A and B are shown apart, each in its own frame.
Chain A
Amino acid sequence: MNTDMSKTENKKNRNGETSPCCCAEAEPHVERPPCCGPPATVGGGEINEKVPGFIGWLSTMTGRVPRISSELTINDRFSAWKLRWGIGRMSAVLPPGLYVLGKPERQDPVVVTANYKMSYDLVRHALAGRNLWLLVLETFGVNVWCAAGKGAFGTEELVRRIEKTGLSQVVDHRLLLLPILGATGIEAHKVEARSGFRVRYATIRVDDLPEYFDNGMVTTTAMREMTFFMRERLALVPVELVMSLKKLAAVSLLLFLVPALMGDPGAGAGAVLAYLGAALGGIVVVPLLLPWLPGRAFSVKGAVLGLAMVAAWYLSGISRDVTVYAKVAAFVALPAVSAFHALNFTGCTPFTPRSGVKKEMRIALPVMGCAVLAGVVLLLIGLIPRQ
């Protein structure tokens, strides 16, 4: 249960409607990773003493269940930090199944989450000091929201996991507590019809779970309201940056080599710096300043920022030795570069509908393309030696 976000492409599902997964609905009874999404291509395996936070076994009607600690070790915290930078993605998975926190009785609640290490860690840490059952679904190391979008955190897997763990023999009640962001993949009425367990959506954020339990398992308005605070946006920036590195490097190389081959490596270096500044504006600054940048369209927000950056560069006097062609090229092309990267941030936000992004792309991409092309042409004209 967390608010990590990543996005997927869409295909038609068996209902003939778009679903944010390219394959999860195709063979719902087959346990295998979704064909899209982060490169977590392995399942979680079998539960043993090596599961994160293991402190012992609890005997139940259907066999032993691992008791886990709510304490996060330095390694747990370090691995979470690395995951924010996109490192260790393949090993951020744990075995699906039933776990316990504290010493739950048969009437204690069942909380459902994904087998993404960070989701699991956040849940067990937030629920310190409580007695409950934790049903971990096989989402192939993908967080709840993304897995729900792909169908992995879905009705089929939930019903299957209830059966595999023998949950109905372990607890007396028939109630499951799910994260609200998991609802994208779950059909609660079908889960109840097939398993006998009622689904109740608890909170969006894992941090609200303690208050949810203290509140008598009643969801307040604030608990079901999406937020996108500065710290939440900041948490998404590192992985966006890492994922952009290859593209940034490739474009930078091209921007340096062309002027260098035409005899002006200095112009190439300048072009690379300008490009990287504009790109980083879109990747890093736009997410941080998102609510304050003018416009609703992300490309407009990015273009405004890019334009402001170029204007600051021009007015600072650093641009004194740059040709007129290069100056005009900067004003034309760099806002488009910032706008493109800002547009990419739509995939990380929790409020941009697919229809809206499509509409924005249809309008913005041709404009950006023309602006970048014009900038390149101007740069090349400026590089032609004058008589």
Chain B
Amino acid sequence: MKGFRYLENVATLRFTSDRCTGCGRCVEVCPHQVFEPAGEIVAVVDRDACMECGACRMNCPHDAIQVDAGVGCASGLLHEWLRERNLSSSNRSCCS
């Protein structure tokens, strides 16, 4: 994504190349061009650009991709932490 980079070495993306058949679905769905075709299969070329949306994992028919998918939202995480500690009963997220 041009002009924007977030923290490095945090993304939980894991790619098992042995399972990849090179169908290209991950290349098709990734909005940050984390994957690129590499010969018969694909390769992770920009892991730090991963926003952990999980689209690649959902659309990989061979379970070659694992990622702890979720939404990087400070407000949502804060509410989640408060609920876990029983400090808030609100079910709201940052967008509601």
Contact = CB atoms under 8 A, between A and B. Distances in A.
Is the A/B pair a real complex?
yes
A343 B29 CA distance: 27
B72 A352 contact: yes
Determine the main DSSP class of B at the interface with A.
loop
Interface hub of B30, B51, B58, B95 (most chain A Cβ within 10 A): B95
B91 interface: yes
Interface residues of A, number: 58
A213 interface: no
A184 B80 contact: no
Interface string A342-365: 011011011111111111110000
A361 B7 contact: no
Interface stretch (A3-11, A61-69, A127-135, A164-172): A3-11
A291 to B, nearest CB: 5
A231 to B, nearest CB: 14
Contacts of A357: 72-74, 77
A9 B7 contact: no
A20 interface: yes
Contacts of B77: 9, 354, 357-358, 361
Contacts of A355: 10-12, 52, 68, 72
A271 interface: no
29 contacts: A6-B96, A7-B94, A9-B71, A9-B79, A9-B80, A9-B93, A17-B69, A18-B69, A20-B69, A22-B91, A37-B96, A184-B54, A184-B58, A187-B59, A188-B59, A189-B59, A189-B61, A224-B28, A225-B1, A225-B31, A228-B3, A290-B4, A291-B4, A346-B73, A347-B76, A350-B31, A351-B4, A355-B12, A361-B78
Interface of A: 6-10, 17-20, 22, 35-39, 146, 149, 180-181, 183-189, 201, 204, 219, 221, 224-228, 243, 290-291, 296-298, 343-344, 346-347, 349-361
